[in-house]
Every structure is written in structure tokens, then in C-alpha cells.
């Protein structure tokens, strides 16, 4: 499941036609599916409308047999769920949710990580993939938290990007 980029024009607008073309090309490859708006997709730099438009364009351009994963993590559980619900309405198969990072002093506490992911997983219409990316968020999800979250029936995987082989 390669994470795809979001192409931009030089002035900073999303280049939707190029995105469509890229997804059509990736859909002809042997990959099982695509991740739209992971960190490589630069979703953090997009407006809410641009995030929605990127998800829509990518989904419409993807081959029907590809598993489509939507990066829907935003700073609040409420906004994460709104974007996840939109992705579900488009036909995405799963939501990849990064840990919020703006209030990392608070989010770095295990009980807050558990509360965030459980809130999202309890209400998400899509299966949830945890996205742990400490280089971008400024903190690392402890193994113990990941183990507890793995018990949730709507959490299906983790994208572990800490770079720690021991942790994996």
C-alpha cells in the first residue's frame, strides 16, 4: 500500500488532473491498494475542502479492485471522524489516523492516546489503522498503548514509522 503524493502547481494549488493521472497509473500496477493523504500526501498542508477533493479525485480514479486507505487524522477526534465519515461515503476501505501532535505535551500521555483512538474507533464507519510517526508528531506511541488498542475490534493495523526495529 504505497502512500501517494499530492501533486501541486508551482503556486501551491493542488494539481488534481495530475493526481487523477497518477492514481490511474498506480491502479495498473500490482499493488494491493493505495494510501491517500498520508504524510507523503501532505494532508497537513491542505484545507478541509482540498482534503475532501483529493480523497474524491483519488477514489474516482482508482481501479475498483484496489484497497483504498484514506489518511483522515486531524488534530481533534471530532474533525477526524468528520473526514473519516466523508471517506466512507466515497467508498474508502479503511482510515489511517495519525496521532494528533499540536498539543503533544498532553497527547504524549498514554491515557490521552488511548482516549483519542478509542473515541475515533468507536465511532468510525471505517476500520482504523493507527499511524505512529514520531518524527512528525514529536512523540512516540509506547508499545503498551499499541497493545491495548489492538484489542479494539475496529482497529485493524498500525503503520509504525518510528524507525525502531526493536519496537516492531
Q: Are 14 and 57 in contact (CB under 8 A)?
A: no
Question: Which residues share a beta bridge with 3?
Answer: 35
CB atoms within 10 A of CB 62: 21
pLDDT (0 to 100) of residue 168:
75
* Distance of alpha carbon 82 from alpha carbon 151, whole angstroms: 24
Q: Which of 18, 56, 159, 167 is catalytic?
A: 159
pTM over 0.75: yes
pLDDT (0 to 100) of residue 54:
98
Q: How many CA atoms lie within 13 A of 157 on its CB side?
A: 12
pLDDT (0 to 100) of residue 166:
79
Q: Are 126 and 95 in contact (CB under 8 A)?
A: yes
* Nearby residues of 111 by Cβ (< 8 Å), 6 or more positions away: none
Identify the sign of the CA torsion 160, 95, 111, 144.
negative
* Distance of alpha carbon 113 from alpha carbon 11, whole angstroms: 37
* Distance of alpha carbon 158 from alpha carbon 160, whole angstroms: 6
Q: How many CA atoms lie within 13 A of 86 on its CB side?
A: 20
The DSSP call for residue 3 is: B
Per residue of the chain (168 residues), what is the pLDDT tens digit?
A: 999 999 999 999 999 999 999 999 999 999 999 999 998 899 989 999 999 999 999 999 999 999 999 999 999 999 999 999 999 999 999 999 999 988 888 888 999 999 999 999 999 999 999 999 999 888 999 999 999 999 999 999 999 998 888 777
CB atoms within 10 A of CB 156: 15
* Distance of alpha carbon 108 from alpha carbon 132, whole angstroms: 12
> Can you list the alpha helix ranges (DSSP code H) found in the chain?
16-27, 48-61, 77-90, 104-107, 110-123, 134-137, 143-149
Q: Is 159 a catalytic residue?
A: yes
Amino acid at each position: 500500500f504505497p502512500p501517494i503524493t499530492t501533486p501541486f502547481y508551482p503556486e501551491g494549488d493542488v494539481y488534481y488532473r495530475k493526481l487523477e493521472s497518477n492514481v490511474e497509473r498506480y491502479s495498473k500496477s500490482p499493488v494491493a491498494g493505495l494510501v491517500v493523504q498520508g504524510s507523503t500526501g501532505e494532508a497537513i498542508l491542505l484545507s478541509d475542502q482540498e482534503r475532501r477533493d483529493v480523497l474524491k479525485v483519488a477514489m474516482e480514479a482508482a481501479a475498483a479492485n484496489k484497497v483504498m486507505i484514506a489518511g483522515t487524522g486531524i488534530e481533534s477526534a471530532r474533525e477526524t471522524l468528520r473526514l473519516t465519515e466523508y471517506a466512507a461515503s466515497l467508498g474508502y476501505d479503511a482510515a489511517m489516523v495519525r496521532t494528533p501532535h499540536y498539543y503533544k505535551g498532553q497527547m504524549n500521555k498514554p491515557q490521552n492516546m488511548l482516549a483519542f483512538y478509542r473515541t475515533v474507533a468507536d465511532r468510525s464507519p471505517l476500520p482504523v489503522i493507527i499511524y505512529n510517526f514520531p518524527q512528525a508528531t514529536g512523540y512516540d506511541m509506547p508499545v503498551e498503548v499499541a497493545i491495548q488498542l489492538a484489542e479494539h475490534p475496529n482497529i485493524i493495523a498500525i503503520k509504525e514509522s518510528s524507525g525502531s526495529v526493536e519496537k516492531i
